[in-house]
Amino acid sequence: MEINLKGKTALVTGGNIGIGRAISLTLARCGADVAITYFDHDQAAAQTIRAMGCHCPYLHLDATNSAEVNQVFAQVAKEFGGHVDILVNNAGHLVGRVPIAEMPDEFWRKVIDVNMTTAFYCSRAVIPYMNTGWGRIINMSSLAGRDGGGAGAAAYSAAKAGVAGLTRALAKEYASKGITVNALAPGLILGTPFHATFTKPEVQQKIIASIPVGRAGTPEDVAGAALYLVSDLASFVTGEIIEINGGVYFA
């Protein structure tokens, strides 16, 4: 069955690189107009989407800034005729690996803000614009939120576990409005700045050796799951955390 998103509007935070880029391009290929927010500048994804004939607003956003989130989301909604159908809360970052005993308060707050508070701010901001009786919110959790993550990732693990709880709460609150809310929990996904920065090659190989399907994931693996969740094929799916880890972990 072909998934057709023609006429739908989407907003992907951090949609210019890594997993966010793959999701943005996938939604556009299925016909959606896709707004991308970015923190570090790279216009390639937006240019590709526009070349497909889709409308693609491209805006800078610090998603940890509540006022800025509200302003940018209002601007996107205006460009999309007053409604946003799909939100992908992809903004997030490990920030660094710090053992609990050495972790400053400021580091803990930063990691929580970047990975969980952003999902709260953006979900709250988009709800008024999901006003057509049909909406999809996808949050980005992580395998780390399930299994505690790697060395020095306690704050990140806690934040991503919190995203799972937020997802379920939102799913309950907005199901009657025609809005489904789900999360994706990727494992080792290569081809992204995340693992290129924070996971040494020898550690990557050790993890790959433990994956039952015999390979690391790709951004496109995550984008495929996102596409399913925003489609009408998943209209009866809400409050779920979709594991994307090649069989390393089962919920």
Count Cα neighbours of 62 within 13 Å in the Cβ-side half-sphere: 7
CB atoms within 10 A of CB 243: 19
Q: How is residue 97 written in tokens?
A: 């690996």
Q: Alpha carbon 158 to chain centroid distance?
A: 16
CA–CA dist 151, 63 (Å, integer): 26
Helix (H) or strand (E) segment spanning residue 241: strand 241-244
Measuring CA to CA, how many Å separate 63 from each of 88, 110, 127?
A: 13, 12, 16
- Catalytic option among 156, 174, 228, 249: 156
Q: Tell me the chain's radius of gyration from C-alpha atoms.
A: 17
Contacts for 60 with CB less than 8 Å, ≥ 6 apart = 37, 38, 39, 41
Q: Are 140 and 162 in contact (CB under 8 A)?
A: no
What is the DSSP-derived secondary structure letter of residue 189? B
Place of tokens 């907005």: 174
CA–CA dist 89, 23 (Å, integer): 11
For 4-157, list the strands marked E by DSSP: 9-13, 33-38, 58-60, 86-89, 135-140
Task: Decide if 58 is catalytic.
Answer: no
Indicate which residues carry an active-site annotation: 156
